[in-house]
Each structure stands twice: as structure tokens, then as C-alpha cells.
Amino acid sequence: MTNLGSLGPTGPARLEAAARSAMSGHVYDYIATGSGVEETLAANEAAWRDLLLRPRVLRDVTTVDTSTTVLGTPVSAPVLVAPTGYQRLVHPEGEVGMAAGSARAGSLLTLSTRATVTFEELVEVSGPWWLQLYILRDRGLTETIVQRAAAAGARALVLTVDTPYVARKARRTPFPPDVVSPVLVPELQARDDKGVWQDPGVTVADLAWLAEISGLPLVVKGVLRGDEARACVDAGAAAIWVSNHGGRQLDGVVPTATALAEVRAAVPEEVEVYVDGGLRTGRDVLRALALGATATFVGRPAVWALATEGAAGVHDLLVSLRAELEEAMALAGCRTVAEVAPDLLHP
């Protein structure tokens, strides 16, 4: 085992507190908030902690390897960066800093449709990246974004399906705080034009259209049910991403730690399943892998890290989470990600 640093037991809270003091109250609230009365926001973190580990002992854990692959792309650990919009709100480097920090940590970045950098700025610094897509009311503009992403080197499209409308948030902030614009393609800046809003009419039939116009593997993000995961796979999805948008869409939904097992069981073994929502430590990542996740994604922690120290902060966060996972794997008797199995969890 390498002896990498760790955020320590109070790390996630400390990181958030440091980020909070580096930004205005409005911006902090925009990122931290959940929807409704924030039931799901709270439940996401708690549900991981409720899963009790059953470590294996007397295994030779002299070497532990956290590396794995997602849709064929090698990553240093199954700890990847979820899409979050408007990153220039928290740091002048914005998504460029997120991409550079992620690349240096050997991770993978998911770029939001609501990014505040251009494709050209991104690809200069980025390692492997996927584009998170909202199908917009203006389908022609959607097609332009997809084709430009494919040309710029996106390795997959992540279609977010839990946001036909943006839910009302518990902590009311101007949405989005009015100081940055999405600039991925110039047309996205026209925020009063309804064409740039999410299309609430999207159905499973649109998956084939997207795969066809992009030529890229399609990941469906925001699935919480086995039957729907199966339907997406039958319609051509290459992978399923279990997510409740970090408790920012329908409040009161099942926490992702609970939904993961149902989704995993419903799709063929070769279909990759990812999860995000409330993952804060390397132990949480181990729990997700034990439930059958191929990889995990972090949303807010990556934003807090970007806010505090730009690319260096993002790098340090991802390396710390990897080190925590490595330690947790060793102490649970797992040498490789493939050795992490459901028997590690108390039934």
C-alpha cells in the first residue's frame, strides 16, 4: 500500500466549511441546497453509513490495487467527478480547474451541459471526460452540442433523465446566481429563450436518437428503479447511473444506496452501473462497490474542493478518497476492485 494522505474523519465537513468561507452565502446555498424539505439530501449520506461492513481477515493484502475501468477507460480508482453546473461561480478556473485536477488524479470528469467553459478550453487540460447532456427543447441545439462534444473527444454521453423540470429548492437562491453564463456553445447563453430549457417531453425513444447522432456510448443518469434501468438498457443504454441528483429533484425519493441493489439486479451483469449521492469517504465507495457499483461519482465534495484550491484542491480530494478506499479495501481483505463483493455487507 502506498501511504497517501487522507482527509481524516472530519474531512468532508472541514472541506465544506473551508469552501463556505470562500464564497458568498447565495452561492453556498445554491450548491448545498436540496429540493423540498431536503429529506433526500439527508437520507443519501445516512443510507451509506447504515450499511455495516463485514471485513474478511487473513487475506494477503500486501498489495492493494484500486484501479479499474469505466466503459473501457482506465481510471486510478472508482472515484469519479459528477457533473455540476456553473463551476465558475466558485473558482475562476471553473471546469478547467476541475478537469485538470481530475486528470492529475487519474480520474474521469463529467462535464455539465451548463458548463461555464468552452470545449476548446476544456480539452487543453482534460484527461478522459464524458459529456452530461440535457435534451433541450431546441433539438437542433441539442444535436449541435452532442456533435461538438463528440468532435472534441467526449468518450460517452450521460443523459440526465431526472430533471424534466428543475425542482424548487429548499434554500431559495436566484437560479443560477446571476454572475456566470453557460458557454459550452454560444447559444446556451440565451437563458430567456425557452429553447435552452430541458425538454419535458423526452421519452425512452430518444435514447436511440442520441446514440445515433453521437456515435458514443450512452449512460442514463437519474434512474432509481430496476424496471426503468432495464428499459433503458433494452433501448440501447450502455450503462446506468443511479442518482437522485444529490437530493435536488423529487424530494422523498429512495436514497441511492438503497436503489443501487435493485438496479444492479435488474440489468445484465456486463452492463456497468454507477452511483452518486452522499458518498463522502472511501468507506462509502467500498460500500457502493459491494452493492455492485462499477464506479462512484462525487458532486458537492468536488465543488467544495474546487472552491478552496482550484485544480490542486480537486486533485487532493480525489487522491484522499482513493487513499481511503485503498485503506478500506486492505482492512476488509480485498486486493482488487473485482474482489469487493456483496458478502462484505451485513445483510
Residue 95 sits in the site that holds ligand FNR (CB under 6 A): no
Q: Which residues of 54-69 are buried (b: 16+ CB within 10 A; e: fewer)?
A: eeeeeeebeebbbebe
Which one, of 183, 178, 193, 179, lies nearest residue 148 by Cα? 183
Which position among 16, 95, 138, 276 is part of the footprint of ligand FNR (CB under 6 A)?
276
Which position among 83, 217, 255, 292 is part of the footprint of ligand FNR (CB under 6 A)?
83
Measured from the CB atom, is 221 or 264 closer to ligand FNR?
A: 221
Which of the ranges 54-62, 142-150, 227-235, 245-253 carries the binding residues for ligand FNR, by CB under 6 A?
A: 245-253
Q: Per-residue x/- mask for ligand FNR, residues 143 to 182, rule CB under 6 A?
A: -----------------x----------------------
Residue 2, phi-psi category: left (phi > 0), alpha (psi -120 to 50), beta (remainder): beta
Residue 116 sits in the site that holds ligand FNR (CB under 6 A): no
**Axis-axis angle for helices 300-331, 94-104 (nearest 10):** 10
Residue 82 sits in the site that holds ligand FNR (CB under 6 A): yes
Measured from the CB atom, is 61 or 160 closer to ligand FNR?
A: 160
Q: Would you give the end-to-end CA distance of the chain in angstroms?
A: 29
Measured from the CB atom, is 273 or 334 closer to ligand FNR?
A: 273
**Is 245 annotated in the active site?**
yes
Which one, of 197, 210, 204, lies nearest residue 222 by Cα? 204
Q: Which of residues 172-231 bind ligand FNR (CB under 6 A)?
A: 221
Which position among 31, 99, 263, 317 is part of the footprint of ligand FNR (CB under 6 A)?
31
Which position among 245, 264, 283, 322 is part of the footprint of ligand FNR (CB under 6 A)?
245
Q: Give dist(CA 314, CA 311) in Å, integer.
A: 5
Task: Work out whether the CA dihedral 279, 285, 288, 292 comes out positive or negative.
Answer: positive
**Could you tell me the three cell numbers for 339?**
474482489
Measured from the CB atom, is 66 or 296 closer to ligand FNR?
A: 296
Catalytic residue of the set 26, 91, 245, 346: 245
The single-letter DSSP state of residue 279 is -
- Our separate counts of H helices and E strands in the chain read 11, 10
Report, in Å, the least distance between residue 144 CB and ligand FNR.
18
The single-letter DSSP state of residue 176 is S
Report, in Å, the least distance between residue 305 CB and ligand FNR.
12
Q: At 324, which helix (H) or strand (E)?
A: helix 300-331
Interface ranges with ligand FNR (CB under 6 A): 31, 44, 82-85, 112, 114, 132, 160, 221, 243, 245-246, 248, 276-279, 298-300, 303
